[in-house]
Each structure stands twice: as structure tokens, then as C-alpha cells.
Amino acid sequence: MTVAGLSLAGCESVRDQIADRENSLAAAGFVARPANTPQRQEMLQKLPPNRFLQKPFGDHVLYIYSDPKVCNCLYVGNQAAYGRYQSYVQAQNLADQQQMTADMYEDASWNWGMWGWGGGG
């Protein structure tokens, strides 16, 4: 990612960031459950927005992600879906870090001399 890319990513709205996360949740196997009744709407408003919660359900755990603003829904997934989501996030972070590292060193003609490098040597 170039400096311009970083600037654009930094300017991405919170709404866009949430939408990106929700696309990743759906790809990982989470299912969107709309708050399409007054009862569901009331329950959705009680949850912390845009955060994961664990909910025991029988002999397993469900992972719930609430979004009262963008989709007005809950995303519900099992342990496998949560694991896939976490793997995706880690892979994306690594890819972003590798791209930034590559971009930092791509211009061999950069002349530190006129900037007074200050590296102590």
C-alpha cells in the first residue's frame, strides 16, 4: 500500500470499515439476522454495537456481532465461522504489513543525504 493508499484507507468512513468487516463475516460463514420486528430491534439496541459476543447455546458457543447502524442486524456464527474470520483478519493484517514494508523500500533513488538522515553513522 502506498502513502496515497494509506491516506485513502485512513479516510475510509467508519460505515465503510464496518461494511468491509461484515463482508468478511459473511464470507467466513456468519449469517445475518435482520432486526425486522420491534422485539428484535429492542434486543439489538441492548447489545454493544460492532463487537463480538459469545453466547452459549446448548453444547456449543455462538458468536454474535451486532450492527445497529449499517445493516440493522446481528451476524451469528459458530466456532468454525469465528475461526475462519479470525484467520482472514490475521492474513489481511499480514498482507497489509508486507505491502507497506515493500512500499517503504521500493524507491532505490531516494536520497537521504539532503534530509540529514540522523542515523548516527
Query: Where exactly are the structural domains of the chain?
Result: 13-96
pLDDT at residue 120 in the model: 57
All three cell numbers of 49: 454495537
Provide the mean pLDDT of the chain. Answer: 81
pLDDT at residue 91 in the model: 86
Q: What is the mean pLDDT of residues 28-47?
A: 96
Whole-prediction pTM: 0.65
Helix (H) or strand (E) run with residue 55 in it: strand 52-57
All three cell numbers of 72: 440493522
Cα separation, 101 vs 89, in Å, equals: 18
